[in-house]
Amino acid sequence: MVLDPGAAAAAGQGRAVLGELPERDGSRPCSSCPSPPPRPAPGGSPRYPRGSRRLSESGAGMRRGGGACTGSGGRMRSAASLPHIGRPRGEEGGGGGGGGRRSPCLLVALRPLNVEAERERFFRARFAYDPQFEYAEPVPEAVLDKYRAASDRFVAQAIRIIHAVLEKYGTYESFEVATGGRLLSKCQIWSVIRKYMQKEGCVGEVVVQLTDDLLSQAVMMVEDSRPTLAINLAGARQYWLEGMLRHEIGTHYIRGVNNTRQPWHSSEGRKQYSLKPANPTEEGLASLHSVLFRKQPFLWRAALLYYTIERASRLSFSALFQDLEQYVQDAGVRWEYCVRAKRGQTDTSQPGCFSKDQVYLDGILRILRHRQTIDFPLLAALGKVSYEDVNRLKKFGVLEKARIPHFMQDLERYMKQLDHIVTTNQLNEQELEELLPD
In this structure, are residues 98 and 146 in contact, taking their beta carbons and an 8 Å threshold? Answer: no
DSSP string, 217-237: SEEEEEETTEEEEEEEGGG-B
Can you say whether the dihedral through the CA atoms of 261, 266, 271, 275 is positive or negative? positive
What is the rounded distance in angstroms from the CA atom of residue 169 to the CA atom of residue 163? 10
Q: How far is CA 300 from the centre of its chain?
A: 14
Query: What is the side-by-side order of every strand in the sheet holding 226-232?
Result: 14-17, 207-211, 226-232, 218-223, 52-58
Residue 57 sits at the vertex; the CA angle it makes with 335 and 276, to the nearest 5 degrees, is 120
Q: Which of 91, 248, 283, 310 is catalytic?
A: 248
What is the rounded distance in angstroms from the CA atom of residue 301 to the CA atom of residue 360? 9
The widest CA-to-CA distance across the chain, in whole angstroms, is 61
Q: Is residue 248 annotated as part of the catalytic site, yes or no?
A: yes
Residue 115 identity (one-letter amino acid) = V
- Give rounded-to-5 percent helix, strand, coil for the chain: 45, 10, 50
What is the rounded distance in angstroms from the CA atom of residue 361 to the CA atom of residue 6? 37
Query: Residues 6 or more apart from 437 whose CB is under 8 A from it?
Result: none
Q: Is 431 helix (H, G, I), strand (E, B) or coil?
A: helix
Give the gyration radius of the chain's Cα atoms.
Answer: 21
Element (H, E) at 335: helix 331-342
Query: Residues 6 or more apart from 171 whose CB is under 8 A from it?
Result: 329
What is the rounded distance in angstroms from the CA atom of residue 160 to the CA atom of residue 101? 46
Which sequence positions are flagged as catalytic? 248
